[in-house]
């Protein structure tokens, strides 16, 4: 279940590549890392709940806030919301 959701999110990111702006490409690449690491951690811990994965990704993004400028945080956050709503 977790792996399928991860794949769905990554496919949504990949589907945007041909039309994405530079900012969207950056946000997609940045989110890929957080999504994959969070999914791997859930799988390792035997967590199958999609909501737990979403919470873990959100927590990962929050923990890394200082890595991004406020503008980049907004771009990443907006893309994350789009992905969650589309998935």
Band of pLDDT at residue 39, cut at 50, 70 and 90: very high
The model carries a pTM of 0.92
CA distances from 8 to 22, 26, 44, 67, 73 (A): 22, 19, 19, 26, 22
Q: Is residue 42 within 8 Å of 52, Cβ to Cβ?
A: yes
pLDDT top residue among 8 and 87: 8
Model pLDDT, residue 28: 96
pLDDT tens digits along 64-80: 999 999 999 999 999 99
Model pLDDT, residue 31: 97
Domains: count for the chain: 1
- Which structural domain, as residue segments, surrounds residue 26? 2-86
Supply the mean pLDDT for the chain: 95
């Amino acid at each position: 279940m977790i792996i399928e959701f991860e794949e769905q999110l990554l496919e949504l990111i990949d589907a945007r590549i041909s039309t994405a702006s530079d900012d969207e490409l950056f946000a997609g690449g940045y989110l890929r890392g957080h999504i994959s690491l969070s999914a791997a951690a859930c799988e390792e811990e035997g967590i199958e709940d999609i909501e737990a994965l979403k919470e873990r990704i959100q927590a990962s993004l929050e923990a890394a806030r200082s890595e991004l400028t406020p503008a980049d945080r907004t771009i990443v956050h907006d893309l994350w919301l789009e992905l969650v709503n589309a998935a």
